Structure 1
Amino acid sequence: MATTSQPSRTDHVRRSGPLGRLGGATAVHRRWVFAAWALIVIGLGAVAPSVFNSLAGAGWQANGSESVAVRDLAQEHFGGNSSAAVQVVVHSDAQSITDTGMQRVIDEINDIAATDDRFGAVVSPQPGSSISPDGHTGIVLIGADGSTDDMVRAVDEHKDELTALSGNGIEVYPTGASALWSDFNKANHDAMIKAEMVSWPITLAIMVIAFGSLVAAGLPLLLTIAGLVASAGGLVLLNMVTPISVWAMNFAMMFALALGIDYALFVVSRFRAALAARKDDPIAATVETMDTAGKAVLLSGLTVLVSLSAVLLVPAPAVRTMAVGIMLAVTFVLAATMTLLPAVLGALGTRVNAVSLPWAKRQHHRSPIFARWGELLHRHPWPFAVGALVVLIALALPVIGLKVAMPSISVVPDDAPVRQGYAVVQESMGPGAPGALQIVVPDGQATQTAEVAASTPGVSMVTPPQPAVDESGLAMLQAIPSVDPSDPTMNAIVEDLRTSLPANALVGGAPAENIDLQQALNDWLPIIVAVILTLGFLLLLIALQAPVIALLGTVVSLLSTAAAFGVARLIFQEGWGAGLLGFEPQGFLNGWGPVFFFAMIFAIAMDYTVFLLATAKEHYERSGDPKVAHVDGLAHSGRVIFAAAAVMVAVFFTFALADPLPPKEMGIILGVAVLLDATLIRLVLLPVLLRITGHGAWWSPAWLRRLLPKVSFGH
């Protein structure tokens, strides 16, 4: 009697694809994988604790702009009297600047400045320019003798010492751009840490509900911690080569948590199903998991990296390095998902279901709830399609009137020294005094420049020309605006000066730097959107081998993005719900929002697109039936998408609790985008499009199939 031999584990691995073989190898040789990751985490973890103190605090500038050129000239030829200089406000209601008590404080400020090489020449308060008309407020200028990042660090280290000089009726506040970024970064860092601490227990609770097992629920957090520690240490090392913004770590923390959980959810869910089907053979289950779900995760990670890489086109160091931080975190999380996670799954085997909750044994990879939902969408596609589109378009319409600008002083807390000093200067010297514009011009044109600047609408005063400290033949003037530095009319004032002043005159200063950065962000936005959409479509096309669904999957991602920004306009520009959320609307969205948040939202949206369509493609390859692809694709991925979205929404919305406005904006915009994308697009609109297009969704011309590399999601 002949017997049929079962394929050996080696045969099973050999017949799988590259990712399946990788999964099998990591599961079999897991001790080596654990050792390698232990070295990575311990090695990079040794420097990780210094990440927030090591990273750069500035970088909010448009490289190559006129304002940056002015700052460089001021740094080199005018004793560090640039926009990066520290302005220390000294004020007393009872004493004048010339009184002994005030002079003693000014001398002590000089002494503090002399202890740090990053501080340049110190200029005491000068009548007619840096002393208020009533004589009770003066500004001590501490020149910048280092980079903008150096100056922010210097303020970090000395601002407590400077503010401690307050007393006996005298108030001392460090102000200026460097002090602003110092207080701004601290407030945002504190808010990020607070939000992360709130989000972790919520995340764990959602994981336990989704998996029904404490062991399975803990795996995504293990993955995330490994990715976070490695990326933090990597950023510290990278910062030794080129300055990396401290914001890079803030965003990396958030994305590592969100995507690490997404990827682990998809992989662990598939592993548990494969383990049950393969009679509890953990190696075979790991191979099958990585041969199917692993491909989707790899494609998703590549899509996220491609979307964020487009942000590197913006010539602003802070914006670029925020993207670098997220990309580094995603790279480590992706590497851990492809190597560490299958090794852990291979080691755990059936113990992945240990410490199960009562309902866990009734869970199946194919969700009956989402299968019924898929059947409902299949029977009645048009009402759901129209309903989802109506909601998304209605929310997206307000985006037409969206305004953007660089943040005002209101983004830092009321009790921040820089904001208190800002208020004192405005009250004593006028609304535009904290935002002086700097004009650098050849000596011979200084008088003419001063006359033209003084007659420019919106300029309240122009200081006498200051000669350069060297033989450069340059002079600098300060033009004091008549409006607050964040007033919309500041754009017109800067433009008028640049148009009417002599051709050799350059206009800079902190307000001009903000304007130039905003202009660069606006100019690059359409290019970045086009690059992200094109690359996203190409990646989906390569993965799915189907141009129709690749195009539809890319286009519908724009709907959730537009809707999120429409909601952002209503909340942050118009002030809807501002009292409930605890903030004062600025009348605009912070300037980096459209560029940076578009890339982040699109990356997340494509993440869910890949999970849904890769699963649907797997079932279409297996059955050749578009209904099976539609219904079973949703049945096998719906629970994962829903749980992953719940985690992301929880993570992002915890940032809405932050006091500073930027993390609040980020949390609400990203949270709304994920909520709309997961519910209305990935679980309604995209499945309906699969139903409506039928076989056409998966059609591909022969010439295109010959050009594309062969990719299959089946095992």
Structure 2
Amino acid sequence: MTTIASRRNPPPAPEQHAPGWLARLGAWSGTHLRVVLIGWLLVLVAFGAFAPQVESALSGAGWQDSGSQSVKARELIANQFSGLNSTALQVVVHDSAGAIASDPVARQAVDRASALLQADPRVSTVLPPQPGVSISQDGRTAIIQGGAKADPNEMVRAADELSKPITALSRKNVSVNLTGSSALWANFNQVNHSAMIKSEVLSWPVTMLVLVLAFGSLVAAGLPLMLTLVGLLTAAGALVLSTHIAPVSIWAMNFAMMFALALGIDYALFIVVRFRAALKRRADQTDRRQAAIEAVAETMGTAGKAVAFSGLTVLVSLSTVLLVPSPAFRSMALGIMLSVVAVLAATLTLLPAVLGRLGRRVDSGRIRLPGALDRAERRAERRAAAAAASATGAGVEGAGHAAHPHHTVVGLERLLHHWGALLHRRPWIAGGLVLVVIGILAWPVLSLRTGMPSIAIIPQSQTARAGYNQVVDAFGPGAPGTLSVVTPATEQTAALQLLRSDRGIAAAVPAGSSNGWTMTLAIPTTDASAPATGSTIDRLRSQLPSGTLVGGAAAENHDLEQVLSSRTPLVFGLLIGLGFLLLLVALGSPLIAFVGVVTNLASIAGAFGVAKLVFQDGHLSGLLGFEPQGFVDAWAPLFFGAMLSGVAMDYTLFLLSAAREHYDLTGDPQHAMRMALRTSGRVVVAAAGVMVAVFMTFALSGPLAPKEMGIILAVAVFLDALLIRMILLPVVLRLTGHGAWHQPKWLGRILPRVRFSH
């Protein structure tokens, strides 16, 4: 149907232009399969040789603000006070029958635990339990400290290796548990790594089922797995090599695996769908090999260009995380970016090479629809072919349709075709309902609280948590978050007096002096993760004598939380600004670029509104099986926000590049909107279905951190794909008409000319 506006302004005939570099690259790849395969085999051998080392080479620490006062205090204590800092190992010995001093079994446990610590080369010194400091008033609980001789990452490895032999010292009435910050991170990485492996195993059958249904054939369904494996092997090897420059978090590999799978599916689905369509338009060519190469060139010149822009936007989104001065966050962003680069490079070279050789065999192993659906598909194909034949020479609008005779309106495409027609008739109702739903879901964000993870992030069965609970019971709620206050020796008296008079400090005990420095252990009155503890740290820093450093695990968490909060507005500002510029270059229209970026924020806000209800308020905690912390982890808004922005831009470009392509062909904005839904809508829905299924398996796994990640990502992708991309964005295109694609003349002289039509 041609709109009144398009009749008043009949579009010019489509311009003929030379194939772009992506089309030429696709054609070259399609005719040089052997060269491309050899090139990628060399890449995989080079990086794959290091990939098996990824589990042992990557680190378990790095959750810190590297420029913070607490990290400076940790480094000073490591040099001047035998490493008795936040990374030191703590062994808690608890005797439920009586005092440790009078129980030979408990005394033996203390001696053996001390010997295990002394035998480890990463432990600098072993500090036995001291009355009034590390022995409880009832005498039943004692703490042994092992100073850190190695860096934080090595101390996490030491905690991981010592945990079992130390726990094995427990007897009937005597429990022995390794705890402290290093033990907590060791337990955290261990339980979450196991949960993520379990989730990935559960997600693969679901992924394969959705892939087979989305691609319709077994051969085509295997293509995203090819891209995923290339991305994973390359990223794993590159991460191992990166450890020679700086420590890389083990979580970098986990997120790299997740994004390699997600983008491998997205890109392969988008390219294969368009390749099949281009191949169908050449069904009457007798030279099948030439037809396949031409189809590859056309696909890479159109869909390949959208994929290239998509990969660039994902990389730009993740690069904003590098603004956070934390090794863990920077290395996680690095891991994802490496996988994106590898998957993108394989999509632009290896995939067209394989498609060029497969040709029509891409549909081998085709999954037939049952009975009536299969007959309906064949009838629809015949009708589409007849319509294409009759459309030849029917003018510009007819040429637009004739250029795409492959659009078989069956199954999902038929649904999307009718859905586009419905949105065309009822745009205000559809758009209004979406805004109401998103508004209701996003409203709780206004009362969202964030905080660094508490001990609740690891299960009760873990030794670090068992020891933590014993320390709390014996020494008070603030004991696990004891602050290490390092002061110039000349200011010790004033510092000690101020600490003992502060309302947020339960006790302050001198812990020695060295080379002009003194250290005092200050035990807060509140839990290490409580906001009041953070307020106490800020107050002490403003009042203690000049040159004093306040450190400790609680202070390090507080400093990281502060830098995350301060950088989040900057990161989101860059996400909006850079995303707008990229969409502006890709699509050429300020209005549609602005709408594409702003709507990204809607799904993110809705997801965090749900996260507030679930993880802060505790709704569904019983069903999902977790202990709410009373807040959402502080890294979630910034890190997950950047990830989700990249995924949302992925879907935005798939949809809008198709709309731009059809608008350039026909000049009809309504036709462009419906055809974008009909062609790329299928890709968005199928890709989102796989991602939601994968993320929900993480939500169902045991520990809290994967649950939080799974729920936030799954809800955001669901909202973005079904409400934002399938309803709100098409409604905006419907209501703005030609204005959506308007480009001021002055802007046209500045921007490069990017075409998505072939």
Matched residue SS, 1:114: helix
The CA deviation string for residues 178-228 of structure 1, in whole angstroms up to 9 with x for no partner, is: 111000011111111111111111011011111211111111112112211
Report whether the alignment pairs 1:16 with 2:15. Answer: no
For 2:624, which of 570, 576, 581 is the aligned residue? Answer: 581
1:365 shift after superposition: 4.2
Matched residue SS, 1:199: helix
For 1:75, which of 74, 78, 82 is the aligned residue? Answer: 78
Name the counterpart of 1:265: 269
Name the counterpart of 1:457: 503
Matched residue SS, 1:165: coil
What pairs with 1:563-642 in structure 2 (closer than 5 Å)? Answer: 563-642=606-685
What pairs with 1:48-87 in structure 2 (closer than 5 Å)? Answer: 48-87=51-90
- Structure 1 CA distance, aligned partners of 2:306 and 2:42? 28
The CA deviation string for residues 373-401 of structure 1, in whole angstroms up to 9 with x for no partner, is: 11221122111111111111111111000
Report whether the alignment pairs 1:109 with 2:121. Answer: no
- Structure 2 CA distance, aligned partners of 1:159 and 1:49? 25
1:239 shift after superposition: 1.4
Name the counterpart of 2:163: 159
- Structure 2 CA distance, aligned partners of 1:599 and 1:365? 35
1:168 shift after superposition: 5.2
Which 4+ residue blocks in structure 1 deviate beyond 4 angstroms? 360-366
Name the counterpart of 2:202: 198
1:455 shift after superposition: 1.2
For 1:664, which of 694, 699, 707 is the aligned residue? Answer: 707
For 1:240, which of 228, 240, 244 is the aligned residue? Answer: 244
Name the counterpart of 2:535: 492
- Structure 2 CA distance, aligned partners of 1:341 and 1:379? 39
Whether the aligned pair in 2 keeps the contact of 1:62 and 1:520 (CA below 8 Å) is yes
For 1:285, which of 261, 285, 295 is the aligned residue? Answer: 295
What pairs with 1:343-422 in structure 2 (closer than 5 Å)? Answer: 343-359=353-369, 362=378, 365=407, 367-422=413-468
For 1:118, which of 117, 122, 142 is the aligned residue? Answer: 122
Name the counterpart of 1:8: none
Matched residue SS, 2:530: coil
- Structure 2 CA distance, aligned partners of 1:27 and 1:161? 58
Name the counterpart of 1:320: 330
Whether the aligned pair in 2 keeps the contact of 1:23 and 1:343 (CA below 8 Å) is yes
1:106 shift after superposition: 2.9
Name the counterpart of 1:3: none
For 2:512, which of 460, 466, 471 is the aligned residue? Answer: 466
1:94 shift after superposition: 3.0
Name the counterpart of 1:476: 519
1:451 shift after superposition: 1.6
What pairs with 1:545-556 in structure 2 (closer than 5 Å)? Answer: 545-556=588-599
For 1:298, which of 304, 308, 313 is the aligned residue? Answer: 308
More displaced, 614-623 or 373-382?
A: 373-382
Name the counterpart of 2:399: none
More displaced, 360-369 or 558-567?
A: 360-369
Whether the aligned pair in 2 keeps the contact of 1:269 and 1:365 (CA below 8 Å) is no
- Structure 2 CA distance, aligned partners of 1:365 and 1:196? 34
- Structure 1 CA distance, aligned partners of 2:433 and 2:345? 40
Whether the aligned pair in 2 keeps the contact of 1:388 and 1:685 (CA below 8 Å) is yes
Name the counterpart of 2:484: 438
Matched residue SS, 1:464: strand
What pairs with 1:494-573 in structure 2 (closer than 5 Å)? Answer: 494-573=537-616
More displaced, 451-460 or 492-501?
A: 492-501
Matched residue SS, 1:358: coil
1:31 shift after superposition: 0.9
- Structure 2 CA distance, aligned partners of 1:636 and 1:337? 19
Whether the aligned pair in 2 keeps the contact of 1:258 and 1:651 (CA below 8 Å) is no
- Structure 2 CA distance, aligned partners of 1:325 and 1:676? 26
- Structure 1 CA distance, aligned partners of 2:304 and 2:368? 29
Name the counterpart of 1:132: 136
1:465 shift after superposition: 4.2
User: Percent identity at matched positions?
Assistant: 53
Matched residue SS, 1:512: helix
1:250 shift after superposition: 1.2
Matched residue SS, 2:91: strand
1:504 shift after superposition: 2.5
Name the counterpart of 2:730: 687
1:50 shift after superposition: 2.5
1:101 shift after superposition: 3.3
Which 5+ residue runs of structure 2 have no aligned equivalent?
1-15, 382-405
Name the counterpart of 2:388: none
State the AA in 2 paired with 1:149: N
State the AA in 2 paired with 1:60: W
State the AA in 2 paired with 1:376: L
1:14 shift after superposition: 11
Whether the aligned pair in 2 keeps the contact of 1:96 and 1:135 (CA below 8 Å) is yes
For 1:222, which of 220, 223, 226 is the aligned residue? Answer: 226
Name the counterpart of 1:675: 718
Name the counterpart of 1:700: 743
The CA deviation string for residues 540-593 of structure 1, in whole angstroms up to 9 with x for no partner, is: 000001111111111111111111111110111111111111111111000100
State the AA in 1 paired with 2:425: R
- Structure 2 CA distance, aligned partners of 1:218 and 1:14? 34
More displaced, 150-159 or 532-541?
A: 150-159
The CA deviation string for residues 520-545 of structure 1, in whole angstroms up to 9 with x for no partner, is: 00000100100111000000000001
Matched residue SS, 2:518: strand
Name the counterpart of 1:10: none
State how many pairs are aligned: 700
1:515 shift after superposition: 0.7
State the AA in 2 paired with 1:253: M
Which 5+ residue runs of structure 1 have no aligned equivalent?
1-12
Name the counterpart of 1:7: none
- Structure 1 CA distance, aligned partners of 2:341 and 2:434? 34
More displaced, 509-518 or 428-437?
A: 428-437
TM-score (norm 1): 0.96
Distance 1:103 1:387, change over 3 A: same
State the AA in 2 paired with 1:343: A
The CA deviation string for residues 469-499 of structure 1, in whole angstroms up to 9 with x for no partner, is: xxx2000000111222122211122122222
The CA deviation string for residues 609-643 of structure 1, in whole angstroms up to 9 with x for no partner, is: 00000000000111111122111111111111110
1:102 shift after superposition: 3.2
Name the counterpart of 1:29: 32
More displaced, 201-210 or 157-166?
A: 157-166
Matched residue SS, 1:710: coil
Matched residue SS, 1:407: coil
State the AA in 2 paired with 1:91: H
More displaced, 166-175 or 124-133?
A: 166-175
State the AA in 1 paired with 2:166: L
- Structure 2 CA distance, aligned partners of 1:434 and 1:126? 16
State the AA in 2 paired with 1:73: L
- Structure 2 CA distance, aligned partners of 1:546 and 1:444? 65
- Structure 1 CA distance, aligned partners of 2:225 and 2:334? 22
Name the counterpart of 1:185: 189
State the AA in 2 paired with 1:148: P
More displaced, 81-90 or 447-456?
A: 447-456
Matched residue SS, 1:504: coil
The CA deviation string for residues 632-664 of structure 1, in whole angstroms up to 9 with x for no partner, is: 111111111110110111111111011111111
Whether the aligned pair in 2 keeps the contact of 1:446 and 1:465 (CA below 8 Å) is no
1:500 shift after superposition: 2.5
